[in-house]
A and B are shown apart, each in its own frame.
Chain A
């Protein structure tokens, strides 16, 4: 489903070159629930950006569902995201000018698909927010906003979902609900889920953990067993 091959990401700062990721390689099978963990500054978010095609690596390549992302133009990568990828962010990233339902419809509308309203309403019901469909993001709590974001992430039936610290801005109860939801949808839809987090509890719920430190993979459990 997802292959990272010798990924390197360097940033130039004046005369110096700073390597944030060095030679990172792994692959993720369809339907896996993977957590990328590591301390602050270890390169987690950078890796997520490369895997999801939000950025291009300085070296190595990313193959997502058979498509090599690293050599594509930004617009081609956008098309892949539109067709195959879902996103959940730490700060929810809902569009403040759109209602909950409209936010969920966006990926489908960008693809010009019909039936976006029906799908949005189904998904909002699924995440328990049917009653809040016409509310704007500012009228929702943090937990509710993240559930809308999850509904949005699944609206285009993604084959892979990336989540960046999805519980980072939530209290324990809301965080728990969000994780449960991600697990359920992962199970139901068969989508692959890749989560970046430094929350050990959340990471422990993943079937596989890839641990980063100083830009290199220091551990890949490769486990298919779910740890409870």
Chain B
């Protein structure tokens, strides 16, 4: 207790300085608290709004109109006090007859009372409530813009005509992004038949939303219906499932920025270590006196650990306050990316965790330099050695080794706790360690190189500046670590983001076509081909599409498979989904065969596929994994009520990001040729005006055929990526900002010796300009090498991330990367110049007084 009191008193004048050093952790804690709090806000909001997200307590949905049995079930439930409302969703071309403009839209035919929870708001207000009063339509504002339409215009969907009565403002359960690909149009369900669009094979989703009495558990209620409804091709979804999947989606976003938070914390730790090193140097004299007066090494250490812990905790608290403030700004960075309205409130658990983790990391990083105080000899009161000699520790000093181990374990623990998996956490920790190791090695190499390259003939200021890089108690390693790490982080974020965007753009143009037509009926394929040819353009691909479901795998029915134990469970979505498959005899450019053999060429005169035959099928490797299916396994497909047995003869790696029709299952022509099918057509129609003309021709002749301009899609994706980039850039900016105090801290670790020396130089007659040039030489060298090392590491790191994690083509952008490096360099030199100002504040008398 007395020791704690003594520690408190002793810290009197240096408290502020120590707080400054320890508070570099504040930036890391701010990042942690803001990110974690925000993630919790999102999860909480998802939970609160999950009913509005789904629109009801339970949803039955199907890719085809409900079977008679399903309708009977819904009727009986309604009679038992469980009402339902309906929605039918499908893509279709929307046309404004007044000007002939067309655009692909997502049509929502909704019954009265839809949705059961949450409210759809409109501009002008109250128009959703009057939607059902006639053939009205409510549309996304963006649709009005692209169609050059206005409220009051007639809108044609298929053969049906509607009056636009307003625009949609807020639709619960959808993020701004969902309307980016195809703007939404809400129409009353009873006018759907007038569109004449819901024909065979149309891509449509039929849904019924159910409202349960408040005391009924949705999960328990849905359970008995799952199996019979699955047989009727109906999926059952409860509000709980919606909540879980929405939470998962936001979790991955939180995970990404969570890693940035972890790195911020580590940078903060490095800042603390450098700062405390400076603090320790200032305390040598005091410690020597304490030692003379009988204090043991451990007493001295305990005294300063108490001070550091208190200041670290204070720094962490400060960080938490800043974190809460930033948390309120985060929704601005993520605007339009989240499916719910996020209610931002302070999250005590996140704050407490942030403060504790931050306080601990600060303490562990501070302990390393503090340990050196144990070794300060009382002899220093009589004869003062250089700081670096006094503080030197043996490499095999046990407490030092223990602290190093604690440090590594803490970093690994934080990484594992914040990553999505233990493996990922270990990788992140290892990568961080690797980067720091490389930077430390480069720092040593720089010091070594500087020592050997100095030539007597060089100007004095340059020699002195270079000498500063390798002399005892240099700051080379501290500056290299913080600067290099900052440069590495920011550049990596930029390069990864850029490669992803570039890859999307590249894929969009890779198919050589830009107009995608879908829902083309069998008899429409040929006339559509001629329409496009007549305008002088080319159809590049025509893929037949056959809807089907899996009936059994290796003789076991889907119902029994779904009920498997958790260990053997195959992914439910993959077993139950409707597969839109194709048949063709060749592999496309976007696919690679990963196992098995492609279909043998069809022999002329071969017998047609007959009942009882087993056909071949090629599966996407990913979906085969989800289905737990391997080469040679047998899958029976239900194609329009007819069972077709097949054997898996090959697996393909499908590049899903290519903008062209891709398929989970591909069959040889002879297996599916005779099944009822429709087509997806890809055409090459360059030029915005030509696309519009072709689309108009098509929609006039075949209103059921939807088409989308892929270049428009690329543009839309670009916009989405830009929005994500804003979030990423926000984090990058955050890392630069946090790098600055760390850099200051690194510089200040040797400030004392630097001032002492510079003042001595002044005493010996050096001018201000000379001293400034010496400092600038040193900082320029450190800045250039630190940022360049960061750049090289970022190139390697971003390549690894792009290659192994995101699996896209690596397209480094050297220009901006070098620009980032230059900025980091300028920051380093500026900090050097600012450090120089302190030197000029001291008079030559200081040197004489200090002796």
Contact = CB atoms under 8 A, between A and B. Distances in A.
Interface residues of A, number: 34
B294 A102 contact: no
A95 to B, nearest CB: 5
Nearest to A196: B382
Contact of B11 (A81, A97, A152): A97
A110 B9 contact: no
Interface in B692-727: none
A87 B381 contact: yes
A106 interface: yes
B398 interface: no
Contact of B12 (A85, A97, A109, A164): A97
B305 to A, nearest CB: 16
Interface in A150-181: 152, 156, 164
A93 interface: yes
B10 A97 contact: yes
B295 A45 contact: no
Pick the most buried of B5, B289, B293: most chain A CB atoms within 10 A of its CB. Answer: B293
B10 to A, nearest CB: 5
Contacts of A95: 10, 286, 289-290
B199 interface: no
Interface in B367-388: 377-379, 381-383
Interface of B: 2-3, 5-6, 9-14, 285-286, 288-299, 377-379, 381-383
B285 A93 contact: yes
11 contacts: A52-B292, A54-B292, A74-B377, A78-B291, A78-B378, A80-B294, A87-B292, A93-B381, A97-B9, A97-B13, A110-B3
A66 interface: no
A152 B286 CA distance: 15
Given A93-B289, A97-B13, A109 B3 contact: yes
Given A45-B383, A95-B289, A98-B12, A109 B6 contact: yes
A96 B293 contact: no
Given A97-B11, A97-B12, A106 B290 contact: yes
Interface of A: 45, 48-49, 52, 54-55, 74-75, 78-83, 85, 87, 89, 93-98, 102, 106-107, 109-112, 116, 152, 156, 164
Nearest to B383: A45
Contact of B292 (A79, A81, A97, A102): A81
Contacts of A74: 297, 377
Given A45-B383, A48-B382, A54-B378, A111 B294 contact: yes
A55 B379 contact: yes
A52 B381 CA distance: 12
By CB atoms of chain B within 10 A, which of A48, A78, A106 has the most?
A: A78
Nearest to A94: B289
A80 B296 CA distance: 10
Majority secondary structure, B binding face: helix
Contact of A110 (B290, B297, B382, B383): B290
A54 B6 contact: no
Given A74-B297, A109-B2, A109-B3, A102 B379 contact: no
Contacts of B14: 97
A111 B2 CA distance: 9
B293 A81 contact: yes
A54 B5 CA distance: 26
Contacts of B293: 81-82, 87, 106-107, 110, 152
A123 to B, nearest CB: 14
A98 B9 contact: yes
Contacts of B285: 93
Nearest to A81: B294
A111 B293 CA distance: 10
Nearest to B6: A109
A133 to B, nearest CB: 14
Contact of B296 (A48, A54, A78, A94): A78
Nearest to B375: A74
A54 to B, nearest CB: 4
B295 A110 contact: yes
Given A96-B13, A109-B3, A45 B294 contact: no
Contacts of A45: 382-383
Nearest to A162: B292
B849 to A, nearest CB: 11
A79 B11 CA distance: 24
A74 B288 CA distance: 12
A155 to B, nearest CB: 9
Cβ-closest 5 pairs across A and B: A82-B294, A97-B12, A54-B378, A81-B294, A75-B296
Contact of B382 (A81, A89, A109, A156): A89
Contacts of B297: 74-75, 78
A49 to B, nearest CB: 5
Nearest to A45: B382
A157 B377 CA distance: 23
Given A97-B9, A97-B11, A110-B290, A54 B381 contact: yes
Contact of A107 (B9, B12, B294): B294
